[in-house]
């Protein structure tokens, strides 16, 4: 029997590979002879480059960059020949800041630009940039500055980092952009379709999770909208209303206008890079999962996107999830035959996170017991 485990990470508790390791250990504790293939996946958010390392035969590259507040850190990305996969969260992510440090007026994407520049210097000609988990609301202007773009005040000085500096933007000089970048193909991986500004834009929808207070949202939205106008005038590209322009605090707009990036859907892009159908062909069962299955999962996040692909090959699909807000009929319509949540009604989230390894191990055992009861 061949079983493929292709799960997203359980955010805050287990990486994609750790989820597969725990489940496989549980299954093999009953059936040591099982052929278990572990296929780490991600949907474009934090952990995407890590998930793709082995599948792409990539090297892990470490580089010293600025975190969202300008402190030096080490960030990793994947490099396979001329193809680089960079997680924006590695340099500009929420995970890098303590709760009291969150501040969209100060947080900058400069470090992400440094990562891009390092990949270019190491020979990348195709860059996939995962936009999930950013701590920033600067429209990607910090990234642009790291790549050589001039972002100047009315008096000709460089603007300060973050949305506070973006508020003083008067002139963009795109001619100073590193000339090597025009030869590259950029792909922004995200499932967010929000425009840059407006009620459904970056600031109003995602600002609060980045530390914005309610009274800040109108101001942050105004700053991004004005930036969008300057970017459109300078680049000649329409960005403000483009779906996905509001991704990662407006990073989508910066990538569209400055690097002429193509926005691509998260899980499908990752599965294409993995040659997913080839990897799972010949399997008897596919196990997928993610930390929380909810209404947003139905738009094509990891578990649902994977199940959709597996069903094309008529594979049975089990989904192991931290918790689920969806009923059985709903997930079955999306191609998931059996849903196995880790959390029961009395278990707290803190307990589930602390005990995720043992809970996944037990779910692995349960899967084998279910299969054996049906003489699978």
Pick the CATH number of 48-266 from 3.30.930.10, 3.90.1510.10, 2.60.40.10, 3.40.50.1100: 3.90.1510.10
**pLDDT at residue 85, as a whole number:** 97
Instruction: Supply φ then ψ for residue 119, to 5 degrees.
Output: -65, -40
Q: Work out the average pLDDT over 116-125.
A: 97
Specify the pLDDT at position 300. 67
Q: Which residues pair with 92 in a beta bridge?
A: none
pLDDT tens-digit series, residues 174-202: 999 999 999 999 999 988 899 999 999 99
What value does the mean pLDDT of the chain take? 94
Strand ranges, E, within the chain: 2-7, 35-38, 59-66, 72-80, 83-87, 126-130, 150-152, 171-173, 185-189, 262-264, 285-293, 317-324, 338-341
From the candidate CATH numbers 2.40.100.20, 3.40.50.10350, 3.30.930.10, 3.40.250.10, the one assigned to the domain spanning 2-40+284-373: 3.40.50.10350
Spatial CA neighbour of 14 closest among 60, 59, 44, 50: 50
Percent of the chain with pLDDT over 70: 99
Tell me: the pLDDT tens digits for 46-59? 889 988 888 888 99
Each residue's pLDDT tens digit, 131-179:
989 999 999 999 999 999 999 999 999 999 999 999 999 999 999 999 9
| Same-fold call for 2-40+284-373 versus 48-266 | no
The Cα–Cα gap between 16 and 28 comes to 18
Q: Which residues contact 356 (CB under 8 A, 6 or more apart)?
A: 10, 13, 14, 22, 322, 342
Sequence-distant (6+) residues with CB within 8 A of 289 are: 7, 8, 10, 19, 302, 303, 319, 320, 321
Least confident of 33-37, 144-148, 341-345: 341-345
Higher model confidence: residue 332 or residue 217?
217
Res 95 pLDDT > 80: yes
HEC string of 85-148 equals EEECHHHHEHHHCCHHHCCCCCCCCHHHHHHHHHHHHCCCCEEEEECCCECCCCCCHHHHHHCC
Report the alpha-carbon distance of residue 139 to residue 317 in Å, rounded.
39
- Report which of 22, 39, 17 is spatially closest to residue 357, judged by C-alpha positions: 22
pTM over 0.85: yes
Half-sphere exposure of 234 (CA within 13 A, CB side): 26
Cβ neighbors of 354 (< 8 A, separation 6 or more) are none
Domain layout of the chain by residue ranges: 2-40+284-373, 48-266
Q: Give the lowest-confidence range in 12-21, 136-145, 165-174, 209-218.
A: 12-21
Per-residue pLDDT at 299? 67
Contact 166, 240 (CB under 8 A): no
Query: Does the pLDDT value for residue 125 go beyond 70?
Result: yes
In this structure, of 116-125, 153-162, 297-306, 344-353, the range with the lowest mean pLDDT score is 297-306
- Cα end-to-end distance, the chain, whole Å: 9
Pairing of strands 338-341, 59-66: unpaired
Mean per-residue pLDDT, 223-235: 97
Q: Distance between CA 321 and CA 231 in Å, rounded?
A: 41
Q: What is the DSSP letter of 48?
A: H
The SS3 assignment for 213 reads: coil
The whole-angstrom separation of Cα 126 and Cα 103 is: 32
């Amino acid at each position: 029997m061949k079983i493929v485990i292709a799960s997203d990470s359980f955010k805050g508790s287990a990486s994609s590979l750790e989820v597969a390791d725990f489940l496989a250990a549980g299954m093999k504790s009953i059936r040591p002879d099982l052929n278990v293939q572990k296929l780490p996946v991600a949907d474009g958010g934090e952990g995407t480059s890590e998930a793709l390392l082995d599948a792409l035969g990539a090297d892990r590259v470490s580089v010293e960059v600025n975190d969202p507040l300008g402190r030096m850190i080490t960030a990793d990305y994947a490099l396979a020949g001329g193809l680089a996969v960079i997680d924006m969260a590695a340099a500009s992510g929420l995970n890098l800041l303590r709760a009291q440090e969150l501040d969209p007026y100060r947080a900058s994407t400069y470090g992400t630009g440094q990562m891009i520049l390092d990949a270019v210097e190491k020979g990348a000609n195709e860059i996939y940039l995962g936009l999930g988990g950013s701590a920033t609301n600067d429209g990607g202007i910090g990234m642009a500055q790291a790549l050589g773009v001039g972002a100047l005040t009315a008096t000709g000085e460089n603007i300060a980092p973050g949305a506070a500096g973006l508020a003083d933007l008067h002139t963009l000089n795109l001619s100073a952009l590193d000339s090597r970048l025009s030869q590259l193909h950029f792909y922004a991986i995200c499932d967010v379709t929000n425009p840059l500004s407006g009620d459904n834009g970056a600031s109003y929808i995602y600002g609060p999770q980045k530390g914005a207070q309610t009274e800040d949202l109108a101001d942050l939205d105004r700053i991004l909208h004005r930036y969008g106008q300057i970017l459109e005038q300078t680049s000649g590209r329409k960005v403000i209303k483009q779906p996905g322009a509001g991704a990662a605090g407006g990073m989508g707009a910066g990538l569209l206008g400055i690097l002429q990036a193509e926005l691509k859907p998260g899980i499908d892009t990752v599965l294409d890079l993995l040659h997913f159908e080839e990897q799972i062909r010949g399997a008897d069962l596919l196990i997928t999962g993610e930390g929380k299955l909810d209404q947003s999962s139905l738009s094509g996040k990891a578990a649902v996107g994977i199940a959709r692909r597996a069903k094309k090959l008529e594979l049975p699909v089990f989904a192991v999830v931290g918790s689920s807000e969806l009923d059985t009929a709903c997930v079955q319509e999306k191609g998931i035959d059996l849903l196995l949540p880790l959390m029961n009604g009395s278990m707290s989230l803190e307990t589930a996170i602390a005990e995720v390894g043992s809970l996944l191990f037990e779910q692995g055992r349960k899967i084998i017991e279910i299969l054996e009861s049906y003489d699978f």
